[in-house]
A and B are shown apart, each in its own frame.
Chain A
Amino acid sequence: MKLKREISEINIIGVNEVTKTYLGGTFTAVDNVSLNIKEGEIVAFVGPSGCGKTTVMRMVAGLETPTTGGIQVSGHNVQGPGPDRGMIFQAYTSFPWLTARQNVEYGMKILGVSAAERRERAQKLLEEVHLIAAADKYPAELSGGMKQRVAIARTLAQKPEVLLMDEPFGALDAQVRWEMQEMMVEIMDVEKKTVIMVTHDIQEAIYMADRIVFYTRTPGRIKEDVYMDFKKGHRFTSKEDLLSQPGYLEIEKQMFAWMREEIQLQAA
């Protein structure tokens, strides 16, 4: 099934000439990166390992500070982490001492949402991520995919403007990853968030994203910034639909070629 994607013309995220160095300036992880992301866009950051894509996203989250340059989200300078930018990590971050439901309610509790509204919204989100049957279990009793769904529901419960996902399905096995990708596309159709997703799974990026920002190997610069025009303004609820779309193979081949270029540059 095809879903219409809705992207406004308003830039919600602005990354302006951002550079990040470590070790007292001797190591440059991110080199002069600028990009604007429109409200409603799903953008994938792709590139070889160690290319600084995660660093850029962590700077948008406010978990790291740019050495030079600045980042704006919804017109405000990013000063630190905040609930307007929800983040989903590769490592499981659902709190082990809370049940799935309590986890989803936790973020809302932090924001001072009333108990009645918390319960209602948690119920709705647990349904959305297909976790109602396990709602009162502790994370230790859940599979990796289920833990990640708890984290997604918990983040969405705070109604963030921007969703940041750092290799969210990287720790999951292939089948679960695929289920999660499809579920995420459906959720995005309901929740309509601006998303940055870091991944090195090329197919995942092409399937989920409206736009792919490809980074060069150290120091991280933007190598290519491509829109998934072959999707003709749609998102697909199944991977088969994507694969049968004309133009899919060309873009995947292109991505692999870029990836190979970067890896060989490093080896040379």
Chain B
Amino acid sequence: MNSVQGRKMSDTSIKAGNPELTKKRDKPKNLQLLVTLSGKQTMTYGLIGALVFFGLWEVAHLLTAEEAKRFLPSPLSVVQALITLFQEKDYMADVGISAYRIFGSFFIACVIAVPLGILMGCFAPIRALINPVISGARYLPAASFIPLLLVWFGPTDSQKMALLVLGVVFFLIALILDNTEAVAKELIEAAQTMGASRREIVINVVGRAASPAIMDSMRNMIAVAYTYLVIAEIVAAQDGIGAVMMRAGRFLKVDVIMAGILTIGIMGVLTDIVFRVAAHYAFPWNRKRKG
């Protein structure tokens, strides 16, 4: 018994002291499973990623033949084009109208989807009534409504916003339905046994419990709304970022097109940050615990 134990111990000490083995174990340190990064490390990695992207872009621009360079302008000339747009072309007005279309239509979509999704999640008959239509509608490409919307609304803001609403509202309802159904049944039953009214449970139990997930769904769907923005502003539009890009395309001003893409990207990132920060302060009880 003792000798067995003794042998075991000496075995491990040999292994632990073997520098070859130690080295081997240390190697994949940076890519281990379940390892989290500090905020600073995450920022550093993100910055490196962005620099590599712009670096590759610059290299690609430099390698492009001189006569084709205008089709792949350098990152800096895109930024230059963006500044010129703001300074000389009243671009702020276009950005403003695009932002108005996005946020206005997304607000309308939320006003429809949040109550409807929650009610569908809470009440089986409402779900059974509406779900078939919603599920089908999700598979219709929103762009296919453009001719119809043009006939109904003409080339107006309403037409563009209707397209954006159509593009996101069905997905948003489906997501919020899921978020609502994911609320633990025991929370509802506990409220029932406490004598809470149906209205109280729908609003203050299910609604409250699902709200962080609903906020997340909204954050994800507004990204989709951005993708429809350009589609909406390409057809029969005089203003907005999409219209600016379309006009630039007619004159092969690739730097301006890219400046438009960059604008939408920046707006998207800012929107995402706003949603995250709002969720952080709106749901202090849902913050991920540190450590």
Do A and B make up one complex? Answer: yes
Other-chain contact of A89, B186, B209, B284 (Cβ < 8 Å):
B186
Does A83 count as interface, using CB distance less than 8 angstroms? yes
Contact present for A82 and B195 (CB under 8 Å): yes
Determine the distance from Cα of A81 to Cα of B189 in the docked complex, in whole angstroms: 9
Contact present for A96 and B285 (CB under 8 Å): yes
Does A206 count as interface, using CB distance less than 8 angstroms? no
Determine the chain B residues whose CB is within 8 A of the CB of A158 once the complex forms.
194-195
- What is the interface of chain A mostly: helix, strand, loop, or mixed? loop
Contact present for A141 and B187 (CB under 8 Å): no
The residue in chain A whose Cβ has the minimal distance to the Cβ of B284 is A138
Q: Answer whether A96 and B286 are a contact pair too, CB < 8 Å, given A81-B189, A89-B186.
A: yes
Contact present for A81 and B195 (CB under 8 Å): yes
Determine the distance from Cα of A62 to Cα of B194 in the docked complex, in whole angstroms: 12
Determine the chain A residues whose CB is within 8 A of the CB of B195 once the complex forms.
81-83, 107, 110-111, 158
Determine the chain B residues whose CB is within 8 A of the CB of A107 once the complex forms.
194-195
Other-chain contact of B285, A83, A85, A97, A106 (Cβ < 8 Å):
A97
Does A257 count as interface, using CB distance less than 8 angstroms? no
Shortest CB distance A105–B (Å): 12
Interface residues on A, range: 20 to 34
Determine the distance from Cα of A114 to Cα of B34 in the docked complex, in whole angstroms: 49
The residue in chain B whose Cβ has the minimal distance to the Cβ of A90 is B186
> From residue 82 to 119 of chain A, which have CB atoms closer than 8 A to chain B?
82-83, 85-87, 89, 91-93, 95-98, 106-107, 110-111
Determine the distance from Cα of A107 to Cα of B200 in the docked complex, in whole angstroms: 12
Determine the chain B residues whose CB is within 8 A of the CB of A81 once the complex forms.
189, 192-193, 195
Does A198 count as interface, using CB distance less than 8 angstroms? no
Shortest CB distance B205–A (Å): 7
Shortest CB distance A162–B (Å): 11
Does A61 count as interface, using CB distance less than 8 angstroms? yes
Contact present for B194 and A61 (CB under 8 Å): no
Other-chain contact of A138, B193, B194, B285 (Cβ < 8 Å):
B285
Determine the chain B residues whose CB is within 8 A of the CB of A98 once the complex forms.
285
The residue in chain B whose Cβ has the minimal distance to the Cβ of A151 is B190
Determine the distance from Cα of A140 to Cα of B286 in the docked complex, in whole angstroms: 7
Does B208 count as interface, using CB distance less than 8 angstroms? yes
Contact present for A110 and B193 (CB under 8 Å): no
The residue in chain B whose Cβ has the minimal distance to the Cβ of A107 is B194
B contact residues, total (Cβ < 8 Å): 21
Contact present for B193 and A97 (CB under 8 Å): no
Shortest CB distance A151–B (Å): 7
Kindly name the residue among B193, B205, B283, B287 whose own CB sees the greatest number of chain A CB atoms within 10 A. Answer: B193
Does B7 count as interface, using CB distance less than 8 angstroms? no
Contact present for A89 and B189 (CB under 8 Å): yes
Determine the chain B residues whose CB is within 8 A of the CB of A86 once the complex forms.
193-194
Contact present for A97 and B209 (CB under 8 Å): yes
Does A63 count as interface, using CB distance less than 8 angstroms? yes
Determine the distance from Cα of A164 to Cα of B194 in the docked complex, in whole angstroms: 12
Determine the chain A residues whose CB is within 8 A of the CB of B211 once the complex forms.
97
The residue in chain A whose Cβ has the minimal distance to the Cβ of B197 is A110
Determine the chain A residues whose CB is within 8 A of the CB of B208 once the complex forms.
95, 97
> From residue 182 to 211 of chain B, which have CB atoms closer than 8 A to chain A?
184, 186-187, 189-190, 192-196, 200, 205, 208-209, 211
Other-chain contact of A93, B190, B284, B285 (Cβ < 8 Å):
B190
Other-chain contact of A63, B187, B189, B284, B289 (Cβ < 8 Å):
B189
Shortest CB distance B70–A (Å): 55
> From residue 234 to 291 of chain B, which have CB atoms closer than 8 A to chain A?
283-287, 289
The residue in chain A whose Cβ has the minimal distance to the Cβ of B190 is A93
Determine the distance from Cα of A87 to Cα of B194 in the docked complex, in whole angstroms: 8
Tell me the B residues contacting A by CB distance below 8 Å. 184, 186-187, 189-190, 192-196, 200, 205, 208-209, 211, 283-287, 289
